[in-house]
Amino acid sequence: MNEIVAPEYKSRKRLRSEKAAVRYLDEYLDLPHGRRQKARGRIRSSLRPLVEAKKIIREVFIGAGSDSDPDFSDVQELRVRLIHRDHMLCQEQVSWLKKLDRSIAANSLSRAAFKQEAAELLSMPNSLPLQHRKDELVFSQQSGRPDTSASFAA
C-alpha cells in the first residue's frame, strides 16, 4: 500500500538545461519569491525547460499589458485570424474592422469593449460558402495577378 517511490533521476544534460532556463528566466524577469518558485517548478516539470521559461516570460508581459487600451496591431491580429479562418473577408467584416480602426484612432474603445466586438466579429459567419471562397483564392493565384479588392486575401 505505502510504496516507497525512488526520486527521479535526471541526467547532467537535463540539469544543465533546467539551470540555463532558470538563469534565462531570472535574466528577463524579477519575480517575487513565491512566483519564482512556482515558475521554477513549471520549468523543472516541463519537457522543454527553455521553451517553458520563454512561455512564462511571455505570460508575464502579456498579462501586464492586457489592461491597456487596444491598438492597431490588435485589429490587425483580428484581421489575420479572420483571413486564416475564412480565406477572405466579406464586405461586412471589412466595414466592421474599419469601424474598430476608427474607434481606436479616436481612443474611444476600451479593452473590454474591443474584446466584445472581436467576439461578435469572430462569431459572424461568412456570407459565401467555403468552397466558393477557396475557388476564388485558387483563381486569383493562377491568374498571376494580385487581387485588388480590399475584401479578398490572397
**Average pLDDT score, the chain:** 83
- Residue 86: how many other CB atoms lie within 10 Å: 18
Q: pLDDT tens across 30-61, in order?
A: 888 999 999 999 999 999 999 999 999 888 87
pLDDT top residue among 131 and 145: 131
pLDDT of residue 83 exceeding 90: no
Its pTM stands at 0.48
